[in-house]
Structure 1
Amino acid sequence: MSNLRLGIRAHDLPATSLDELLQQANQYPFTNFQFAPLKLVTLGLGDVNLTPGLATAIFTKMQQQGLSVSLLGCITNLADPDSQNRAKEIHRFENFMSVARYFGNAVVATETGSVSSTGYTTENFEEPAFERVVASVRQIAQSAEKLGTLFAIEPGDNHPIHDLDTTRRLLQAVDSPNLKLVFDPVNLITQANYQQQDQLIDSFLNEFSDKIVAVHLKDFAIINHHCEVCAFGQGQFHRERFIKLITQRFPHLFCTFEGIQPQQIPAAIAELQQWVSLDKF
């Protein structure tokens, strides 16, 4: 049996303090968090100044409980049409990269955002949005190379980087060894392509295998001709095939539960353990 390193997004656990978060995580065989301070207001974080001292204090407590940070999440709208807002968010992302070493050299990650602040828009699929993302990622890559930090982009079907083609074009436009990918297959599955999910996944893995640093684990169900996201183990995702495939190709890969409720975690873990072993270190 192959192994994976199972983790969870910290903000998917209902903790109101860092100590409580660590206690809740240790009820399960998690080794790591996707840790997004901007989404952890209940822990006293949120849009705080992320300093080396604060990062060290948080990470030291995690290590004492046998936990680490796989991805340091920094939600950044790389496609924001407002250049001032975009510059401010990129600056924050660069600051996260500057303190990533204090989180055990975690990979700093984000999705690519949206042209609209109100939700889905077809403008995300137009060339101006793509070009803004390229410009943003190019700037971040220059900073990452200076800092010696890895950063990752997560493609998603409602974002400017939303499929194999736009992912390929981004990587060609920004040819940086520090630019990596978070692969969430469900983010790329739609009502139109879900029956070809195996081919989509194989193509992504074959083309971008050297860029993938982490995988998200969730599920989907087609309901009334719409693709609805649900917890891992609750839908139509070809889970067994995917898990066996990634652990054979990427032993000990960081795999993160996303959008899962605490009561759903035991069943999801039990299903995983039918196919793979979970790291305990």
Structure 2
Amino acid sequence: MKLGIFAKTFGGADPETVLKAVADAGFVSVQYNMACSGLPSMPEAIGKEQARPVTEAARKTGIEIAAVSGTYNMIHPDRAVREAGHRKLAALAERCADLSTGLITLCTGTRDPVDQWKEHPDNNTQDAWRDLLEAMGTAVEIAERNNVDLGIEPELANVINSAEKAHRLIAELKSPRLKIVLDPANLFELATIDEQRTIVSSAIDLLADRIVMAHAKDRNSDGSFATAGKGVLDYAHYLGRLRAIGFTGSLITHGLLASEAPRVGGFLKSKLETASTGAAR
């Protein structure tokens, strides 16, 4: 596996400055964000002159652009907001070749009208599922036109709030463009160690053939999020299960300060070195 980080962890609006900081902290890949190029995360338009410096910076620093963030609320209650998100996704997809990546990460969304990462009771309704299928259908068409893949992440606050729902979406859409970004800390809040291991193992086994990226953050014992290595997540088990399915992609950490990056990188590197399929249960 390749050790990576959210590029946006580091300050700066110049891709070479940001990617150099990534390399200096000991990482080899990033989930890029257009904010690191001085643009909105989801711009209305991206010129070649704005995209190509990312590829040049990646070449100079030796950092792989594993994916670019394309998150917007795919089931926002206002259709106009969803449609604006589709237009921005298309603008991003059209420039992925110039960004030297073939993967866009998405947010499956929530009915909350303000915060796309906030849970809402209507997320589990048939209407929400219908709107997600429609939105994902549009996104898949955009991906097909531009020869890119789409990474969705099961997380409790969104409409795809479990591995089972992600699997259902894949089955219903029947598109090879739809991939999985797996973050075990998004699959539970409070769980015993055995419950946690069961949840993580089941998710990895169910989605194994679609997992293209893994995330690395953590949970505190009270259920709040934590920086990787500071919480209760069993990383030996998690990474062991990923190795068991033959995953060799990027392990991308996020939810940390730039000052924490070297320490977190060291923690993850040690876990990658020691984790084995025998550690997984």
So what's the TM-score if we normalise by structure 2? Answer: 0.88
Provide the rounded CA distance (Å) in 1 between the counterparts of 2:192 and 2:82. Answer: 32
Q: Where does residue 216 of structure 2 map in the other structure?
A: 217
* Highest RCO, 1 vs 2 (Cα 8 Å, sep ≥ 6): 1
> Which ranges of structure 1 fall in alignment gaps of 5 or more residues?
none
Measured after TM superposition, the shift of residue 20 of structure 1 is: 2.6
Write the distance in 1 (CA, Å) between the matches of 2:134 and 2:211: 21
Say if 2:187 and 2:200, in contact at 8 Å, map to a contact too: no
CA contact (8 A) 2:2 2:251 kept: yes
- Is the CA contact (8 Å cut-off) linking 1:149 and 1:178 kept in structure 2? yes
Aligned to 2:38: 44
Q: Does 1:31 align with 2:28?
A: yes
CA contact (8 A) 2:16 2:61 kept: no
- In the TM superposition, residue 43 of structure 1 has moved relative to its aligned partner by 4.5
Measured after TM superposition, the shift of residue 103 of structure 1 is: 1.8
> Which residue does the alignment assign to 2:127?
128
Identity %, equivalent residues: 19
1:95 Cα deviation after fit: 2.1
CA drift of 1:192 comes to 5.7
CA contact (8 A) 1:33 1:68 kept: yes
1:69 CA displacement: 0.9
RMSD of aligned Cα (Å):
2.0
Superimposed CA distance per residue, residues 62-89 of structure 1 (whole angstroms, 9 cap, x where no aligned partner): 2111112111101111101211111110
The runs of 5 or more residues in structure 2 that have no matched partner are: 275-281
Q: Which residue of 2 aligns with 1:148?
A: 147
Query: Structure 1 residues 88, 194: CA separation in 2 closer, same or farther (over 3 Å shift)?
Result: farther
1:100-147: CA deviation from partner (whole Å, max 9, x where unpaired): 111223301112121113433211222211221111111211222232
Say which is worse superposed, 89-98 or 258-267, in terms of deviation: 258-267
| Deviating more after overlay: 254-263 vs 142-151 | 142-151
**Equivalent position SS for 2:98:** helix
Seen in structure 2, the aligned counterparts of structure 1 residues 237 and 181 have a Cα distance that, compared at 3 Å, is same
1:13 is aligned to 10
Say if 1:170 and 1:20 are closer, same or farther in 2 by CA, change over 3 A. same
Contact 1:217 1:232 in 2 (8 A): yes
SS of the aligned residue for 1:171 comes to helix
Residue 19 of structure 2 corresponds to which residue in structure 1? Answer: 22
Query: 1:220, CA displacement in angstroms?
Result: 0.4
Structure ranking higher in strand proportion: 1
**2: CA distance between counterparts of 1:274 and 1:22?**
23
For 1:262 and 1:105, locate their aligned partners in 2 and report how far apart those are by CA, in whole Å.
Answer: 23
Partners of 2:70 and 2:92 within 8 A in 1? yes
Measured after TM superposition, the shift of residue 6 of structure 1 is 1.0
**Aligned position for 2:112:** 116
Q: Evaluate the alpha carbon distance shift between residue 141 and residue 16 of structure 1 in structure 2; reply closer, same or farther with a 3 A threshold.
A: closer
Which of 249, 258, 261 aligns to 1:262? It is 258
What is the DSSP-based 3-state SS (H/G/I as helix, E as strand, rest coil) of the residue aligned with 1:99? coil
Deviation at 1:33, TM superposition (A): 1.2
CA distance in 2 between partners of 1:164 and 1:252 (Å)? 20
Partner of 2:181: 182
Aligned length: 269
Of 212, 229, 234, the match for 2:225: 229
Query: Which residue identity is paired with 2:271?
Result: W
Q: Is the aligned partner of 1:61 residue 2:57? A: yes
1:163-213 per-residue CA deviation (whole Å, 9 max, x = no partner) reads: 123112211111101111111111111226775111111111111111111
Check conservation: 2:119, 2:156, Cα contact below 8 A: no
Amino acid at match of 1:127: Q
Larger CA deviation: 19-28 vs 177-186: 19-28
Mapped to 1, the partners of 2:229 and 2:271 lie a distance apart of: 13
Query: Which residue is 1:244 aligned to?
Result: 240
Runs (4+) of structure 1 exceeding 6 A deviation are none
Against the structure 1 CA distance between its residues 148 and 106, is the aligned structure 2 distance closer, same or farther, given a 3 Å change threshold? closer
CA gap 1:54/1:17 in 2 versus in 1, 3 angstroms: closer
Contact map agreement 2:129 2:159 (CA 8 A) in 1 = yes
Q: Is the 8 A contact 1:111 1:155 kept in 2?
A: no
The 3 A distance-change label for structure 1 pair 60 and 210 is same
> What TM-score do the two structures reach when normalised by structure 1?
0.88
Q: Which position in structure 2 is the counterpart of 1:70?
A: 66
Q: 2:220 is paired with a residue of what secondary structure? A: strand
2:3–2:29 contact (8 Å) kept in structure 1: yes
Q: How does 1:95-110 map to 2 (within 5 A)?
A: 95-110=91-106
